[in-house]
Structure 1
């Protein structure tokens, strides 16, 4: 479940190269004497086989319609930072690679990217990168439909890819994830990691760890939430790289 991220980053870097080549405290907190809420009921997934649990988790995430995942993963290209909010086919978030960052936005059937100056320099070189960065400025770059180089960046946010195992999945023990009990599923693939799935409430995936602590981890939260920052940018804030080249 880990190497999928590495592949996505490789595609991201290649796409950028192609582009530059062309161009407080809660006041409502209850007092210590307040009655504690009842513990959530178990959802029964821990009694299922590993493959069944994984399918339950995928289905729950799909049915939630929205969620937020955040963390980092290690790849050959360096440390990958991921922070994305997903709402069906719509996406908003940031991907970083040892410093350089690029924002991704998919909304209303259109896709956009917004690399920072460091990313343009990393991908386009010391001479061409800054030129492209200045041309684009703080605007979104429209990704043309069918542009496989740019569209490949968005594979990182694909739920089916995120949770797809590389090898045989094995069920482990129930462990605690931020105060919530979760059953562990370990991917037996060479680059496989461990997925933690809630055993109470909906069987959401709560955390995805790499094979070792150095490989990083992702956490999943805000299931079913509405994200105000997933919205179409203003026309003036969008640029077409093809037109800039003319």
Structure 2
């Protein structure tokens, strides 16, 4: 075996070190940061936004997690959504509950503390709350809570509203999200939101930071199906025509 000259080894080590430094500074050692990607990083920001919305709308399922601020309230979401409905947990004001929508039927499951909070009842009036504790409650379609909560289970409606950046849309460099290379686009320099779009495979949106401090969400499991079944009768309670409201 021919020995490698020591000088060449030192040069190779130096090149590796310089390359690592450049990568750390975000430039990369390749002249083309889009080499080996899906190519959307080379497009104008408006086209990137259009492509990622098309990609998001073309698949049946997605998982999203993070927070959304609406009407002055912060909702922490951990949801799995598809065309037929969705399921997952929501937390607001320190109170958590589970949502499940199958077709048009929406169910809400929470503990007694949630129902006491919604009802505004005193500790002495707990009969209704105890009855609903840990049960899936059918939410009537005409109840204000239906419109309020069903949006969190509606894939197309939720994504259409979230994946729109406001103001002048521009690119903001190459980044990485959970090990996947991304191109970032911003609205009004970030004031109108920022969106990281995958440069690997389909140009799915991977992370959204909403403008005005209105929350941040990550998206994953694009196209991965999951079970969505109505709860058993023994797990369900029909509250009536209207749920308690806070």
TM-score by length of 2: 0.71
Q: Choose from 127, 134, 137 the match for 2:133.
A: 137
Aligned pair 1:153/2:149, yes or no?
A: yes
Query: How big is the shift at 1:119?
Result: 2.5
Match of 1:90 in 2: 85
Distance 1:220 1:126, change over 3 A: same
Structure 1 outlier segments of 4+, above 6 Å: none
Distance 1:94 1:46, change over 3 A: same
Aligned pair 1:112/2:107, yes or no?
A: yes
Query: How big is the shift at 1:78?
Result: 5.4
Which shows bigger deviation, 76-85 or 87-96?
76-85
- DSSP 3-state at the match of 1:200: coil
Q: Choose from 59, 65, 69 the match for 2:60.
A: 65
Report 1 or 2 for greater relative contact order, CA contacts < 8 Å, sequence distance ≥ 6: 1
Q: CA RMSD in A?
A: 3.0
- DSSP 3-state at the match of 1:64: coil
Q: Distance in 1 between matches of 2:141 and 2:242?
A: 18
- DSSP 3-state at the match of 1:241: coil
Query: How big is the shift at 1:75?
Result: 6.1
Q: Distance in 2 between matches of 1:125 and 1:136?
A: 15
Match of 1:179 in 2: 179
Q: Distance in 2 between matches of 1:204 and 1:56?
A: 8
- DSSP 3-state at the match of 2:116: helix
On the 8 A contact 1:108/1:232 being kept in 2, the answer is no
Structure 2: stretches of 5+ with no match in the other structure: 1-33
Distance 1:87 1:41, change over 3 A: farther
- DSSP 3-state at the match of 2:150: helix
| 1:43-90 per-position Cα deviation (integer Å, ceiling 9, x unaligned) | 222222222212211221222211111123456755431100011131
Distance 1:210 1:131, change over 3 A: farther
Greater C-alpha radius of gyration: 2
Distance 1:123 1:67, change over 3 A: same
On the 8 A contact 2:137/2:239 being kept in 1, the answer is yes
TM-score by length of 1: 0.71
On the 8 A contact 2:166/2:193 being kept in 1, the answer is no
Query: How big is the shift at 1:110?
Result: 1.6
Length, aligned pairs only: 205
On the 8 A contact 1:40/1:201 being kept in 2, the answer is no
Match of 2:220 in 1: 221
Distance 1:185 1:122, change over 3 A: farther
- DSSP 3-state at the match of 2:56: helix
Q: Choose from 42, 47, 50 the match for 2:37.
A: 42
Query: How big is the shift at 1:115?
Result: 3.0
On the 8 A contact 2:63/2:81 being kept in 1, the answer is yes
Which shows bigger deviation, 44-53 or 80-89?
44-53
